[in-house]
Structure 1
Amino acid sequence: MIISHKHKFIFIKTVKTAGTSVEIALSKHCGPDDIITPISKDDEAKRQELGYRGAQNYRIPFSKYKKIDWLKFAYDRERRKFYNHIGASEVMQYIEPDIWDSYYKFSFERNPWDKVVSWYYWRYKSEPRPSISEFVHSSEANIIRGFELYTHLSEMAVDQVFFFENINEEMDKIREKLNLSEPLSLPFAKGGHRKDKRSYSDILSDQDKAKIAKVYAREIAHFNYTV
């Protein structure tokens, strides 16, 4: 997640939508006061190698704490933080309303059937692994929903949801919207785990497709995804 005061945008990061690559690309253009949440050690190393800004300013100020935050802090002495896949509803609690209302807010989504297959190969990077059907019908396949992240009370909270399937064109649109002088170059972090290059439609059974359609019904309905 990034909150850029320099360019007045908020990036809500979803799962298995090239979010880390997008985040790294955006961090190149961030300023010293911007909020950038931590990513994995390997991905932070990639960001550092590129010379871009790393995680910074992600601890939530005490001035923004709610009563429950103070109670938790009194118990474990741990600071509240903005984090990688924080949702819009939570971000809204800890920033000024005028910032949320005036900044350009965006996120990414992906065809749910393809996203679940990608998650399967990322979650189980090598053999032995469960079958794709076992995975789809387990609770693990249910945890990469994006709808909860870019909505608030089931209503769209961001200004734009871009699509993974057209990511290069979408990054050009983001660059233009943010009035950036340079192209947003994607490093494609976390790629290469999926060895089966067949279409998700060929990998999933009819039962698998039906299960995914049920779990991700809101995304499918809102963006008119088809299997």
Structure 2
Amino acid sequence: MIISHKYKFIFIKTNKTAGTSIEIGLSKFCGPDDIITPISPEDEEIRRRLGYPGPQNYKNPIWKMSFKDAVDSVFKGKKRPKFYNHISAQEVIDLIGREKWDDYYTFCFERNPWDRVISQYYWVNKSEPRPEMQEFLKSTAIERLKLKGYGNYTVNGEVVVDKVCKFENLSEELDQFRTLVGLPEKIELPKAKSKYRKDKRDYHDVFSEEDRRSISELFRDEIDLMGYQW
């Protein structure tokens, strides 16, 4: 995730929505006081080669902590609260306060759930032999997909970001965002984590009718929110 004090925006990263590529692209515009959370070593190398700022300011400093948490951190070895890759909106609010959250432009991306499930399938199962799709749909990986999507940008079922952008309109959404917050140039996205999905078939050709119904039920919130259709 990224918090830009310079341009006053917060990017909440959902999974399997080009989030890492967006993070890297946005890093270019970050100043020394902005918050950038770490990504994988492989993706950090992409960011380094581009000459963009890497992870910074993501550990909550002691002077921003409550007295009790500061004491526990210093004398009891308690880990400091910190920002991390797929942190939820609620956790960010807890760290920066509701006033700043409301003052900044907050956004994330959502994706057609049937297509997103396929992307998750190949991300979790990077090599053969891969499980049958019906088996995968019953795994905890699908629960995590829900948690790190809808669960990241809602609190008690209510959307708390200013905009949930559509992955399917990625370029247009980023252009609108750039204009809104005043970024000086176009956001260029590198290809990150795009090599794992080998099956390029349309999701209609992958899922059975039973699979379609299972995904529809699990991701009903996202489907209703974004107007996705099978």
TM-score scaled by structure 2? 0.93
1:90 pairs with 2:82: no
Task: Tell me what 2:111 maps to.
Answer: 110
Q: Does 1:179 align with 2:182?
A: yes
Deviations 1:53-77 (A, max 9, x none): 1000000122443588568745544
2:135 maps to: 134
Q: Which amino acid aligns with 2:134?
A: S
**Partners of 1:82 and 1:107 in 2: how far apart?**
16
**Residue among 148, 161, 170 paired with 1:167:** 170
CA RMSD of aligned residues (A): 1.7
Q: What does 1:1-227 align with in structure 2 at a 5 Å threshold?
A: 1-65=1-65, 69=69, 73=73, 75-145=76-146, 146-227=149-230
The answer on whether the counterparts of 1:108 and 1:164 sit within 8 Å (CA) in structure 2 is yes
The size of the alignment, in residue pairs, is 227
1:139 deviates by 2.3
The CA deviation at 1:152 is: 1.7
Q: Helix, strand or coil for the counterpart of 1:3?
A: strand
Tell me the distance in 1 between the aligned counterparts of 2:72 and 2:119: 36
Stretch of structure 1 that moved more, 194-203 or 3-12: 194-203
Q: Secondary structure at the match of 2:217?
A: helix
Is the Cα contact below 8 Å between 1:107 and 1:162 reproduced in 2? yes
Where 1:158 maps in the other structure, the secondary structure is coil
TM-score, length of structure 1 as denominator length? 0.94
Distance 1:10 1:137 in 2: 33
Deviates more, 1:178-187 or 1:55-64: 55-64
Counterpart-to-counterpart distance in 2, 1:66 and 1:202: 53
Distance 1:134 1:180 in 2: 44
Work out whether residues 137 and 211 of structure 1, in 8 Å CA contact, stay in contact via their aligned partners in 2: no
In the TM superposition, structure 1's runs of 4+ consecutive aligned residues that sit over 3 Å from their partners are 63-77
Listed as ranges, the gaps of 5+ residues in structure 1 are none
* Partner amino acid, structure 2, of 1:138: S
- Identity value in percent: 52
Q: Structure 2: how far apart are the matches of 1:170 and 1:138?
A: 32
In structure 2, how many angstroms separate the alpha carbons of the residues matched to 1:207 and 1:75? 52
Once the two structures are superposed, what CA deviation does each residue of 1:71-118 show, in whole Å capped at 9, x if it has no partner?
A: 874554422210000011110011133321111000000011110110
Quote how far apart the aligned CAs of 1:133 are: 1.7
- Aligned equivalents of 2:120 and 2:76: distance in 1? 35
Q: Secondary structure at the match of 1:144?
A: helix
Q: 1:92 to 1:125 in 2, by over 3 A?
A: same
* Alpha-carbon distance in 1 for matches of 2:178, 2:10: 14
SS of 1:106 mapped into structure 2: strand
Q: Tell me the amino acid that sits aligned with residue 30 of structure 1.
A: C
